[in-house]
Amino acid sequence: MTDRRQDSYAVRVEAAELARSRNHPNHQANGDEQRYAGDQYFMSFTKGLPHNPDTGLLEDPQDFVEFRRAIDDGFIDPFSDRVRHGALFVVGAGGVMPDPAPTNDFRQWEAPTAGVVFELEGPDAQAVTMPPAPPLVDASGNVNPELVFEMAEVYELAILRDQPFNDFETGTANADITNSIARLNALSYITNGQPGRPRKVDSAGELDPQTVFRGSSPGVEVGPYLSQFLLIGNTDRNGNGSVDQGLITYGVLHIDQKVPLAQPGEDYMREMDDYVLVQRGIRPGPENYVPDGGASSRPLRRFISTPRDLATYVHYDALYEAYLNACIILLEMGTPFDPSFDHLSGVGAAASSASTRRNAGGFALYGGPHILNLVTEVATRALKAVRFQKFNNHIRLRPEALAARLELVRLGLPAPPALISSMGTFRGILENNSGGTLNAIAALPGVGAGSYFLPMAFPEGSPMHPAYGAGHATVAGACVTILKAFFDTSAVLAESGGTVTFKRLSSGDTPIAFRAPAISNPPGGTLDASTPDEFLTLEGELNKLAANISIGRDMAGVHYFTDYYDSLRMGEEIAIGILEEQALTYSTDPFVLSLPTFDGDVRRIGSR
């Protein structure tokens, strides 16, 4: 571990401990009955508990007390024995009471005890940490500009949900995107130089079409918005087909990169009644898809083309799906492994040349099966670690709930005084930033027009667990780190002799990039290829893949940018811990794994 990373990690550990002791609702409380009572619960995750039908707020703070006690206990049964689920209780004139006609189709809290387990490989769930998420009020007593900005981002992504990704690039002219960027650039977080988690910006320190919503790591701002790994495929076992078909070879099978087309313009939870039902944990019906018009009754499919398409992808993906796909693509392309152990893999560049080919090589050890196992194995460790942060540490409310607080203030309904004051200021900022993000939200047509509710891509809104950290982002950080460790991240996407691969740059190579075809009906059958000004690097496309998947959850309305930024780095630490242990078990042939981090440093792991 480099000194810089040691310092960064130590700061994050200390910050997380401070968050637990100072920022949590149990700070300075006296006795169990008062541990979580008071007005502070209104900035915590309460989904699944009984909510007031008029205000959308938790009705009885004692429900939050019992919820926190169940989390502290670390067992599943207390969540049924002591915690009142909102789908089974209603709020009436007498307060919270059993629902006379309760539904059996309610949503469960997802794995609230997973963070208290121990691991036999890699760091325990409690051994990695994250700093506090941006609070509502900063150290100066003012509404926190970082939180204002990341909530504005989520709103703007909802506004842009059906705009083509091809317009999120330099040289495009999309008025909706330009207006959103202007509103974001008008906020103090950007004008003051991003004092918190940084986004990619242009040379003037502002967001532009090429940098907006891109993430923070090296290379994410280069080329198309979408990582190539969410679009391209590879050839079949006999070398037939082409990458622009988007078919990924799995042995003798293939997987199609096209996704089902969710109904454009159809968003959810834009009225109080719908919002409260969802906050109570009652399961709504599924989203609607555009039919393909054939006899199959299946939805129409296309390459990921809009934020709504990416939200659809991250709604139902197996959490390691995108990274396993990337691994398969790279292995089938013959992408070179890290030069420091390429000769051990048996499948890298060393094996392809008679002058460097060894008589023995890897397969179960530092070959294809090894990386295919590790790129998925780290996912469960990441999920357990992030559950500890979600439930046991931060309990952060979801963007849908923060937006509902703004709508509460707009309606002038009764609420805790601290909430009215802070949300009133929050509201004023977002109504006056270059035409107003909230004004643009209220102007959206359809059900709920005029409100400040966050239009959600999913009928059920967020999952049944707190926002911070993000499961998708933690898994992304862990899985992408494994890929960076094995493959040569300096490889570039190039066309050479009619073949498209990630390869080490050589004379005669031509840069190439792929995009989804222009939105049409029926959708285009193959990707559009272009010749960019610079080569896309493997490091950049893997960083972009992690950002796309993580920020795709923001596009659905279920996460903030902070959830991506800090969770990605925690996932990285989990993967590094596992790789360090793997290296200890292999003490014969010397090797070194060199991996660039999401902050641009380089970590080296190898046999001693």
The Cα-based distances of 539 to 219, 223, 358, 535, 599 in angstroms read 7, 13, 28, 11, 12
Q: Which residues contact 407 (CB under 8 A, 6 or more apart)?
A: 56, 272, 451, 452, 453
Q: What are phi and psi of 254, to 5 degrees?
A: -140, 155
Catalytic annotation on 27? no
3-state secondary structure of 253: strand
CB 165 within 8 A of CB 225: yes
Check 24, 85, 394, 465 and give the catalytic one.
Answer: 465
Contacts 24+ apart (CB under 8 A), 409-414: 410/451, 410/452, 413/54, 413/55, 414/55
- The Cβ-side half-sphere exposure at 334, using a 13 Å CA radius, reads 14
Q: What are phi and psi of 461, to 5 degrees?
A: 65, -135
- The Cβ-side half-sphere exposure at 177, using a 13 Å CA radius, reads 23
Helices (H) and strands (E) in the chain, counts: 17, 13
User: Side chain identity at 105, as an amino acid letter?
Assistant: D
Catalytic annotation on 472? yes
Check 24, 51, 472, 559 and give the catalytic one.
Answer: 472
User: Side chain identity at 278, as an amino acid letter?
Assistant: V
Q: How far apart are CA 293 and CA 527, in angstroms?
A: 22
3-state secondary structure of 602: strand
CB 492 within 8 A of CB 223: no
Q: Radius of gyration over alpha carbons of the chain, in Å?
A: 24
Q: How many CB atoms lie within 10 A of CB 412?
A: 8
Q: What are phi and psi of 562, to 5 degrees?
A: -55, -35
Angle between helices 368-387 and 321-333 (to 10 degrees): 160
Q: How far apart are CA 469 and CA 215, in angstroms?
A: 16
**Residues designated catalytic:** 465, 472
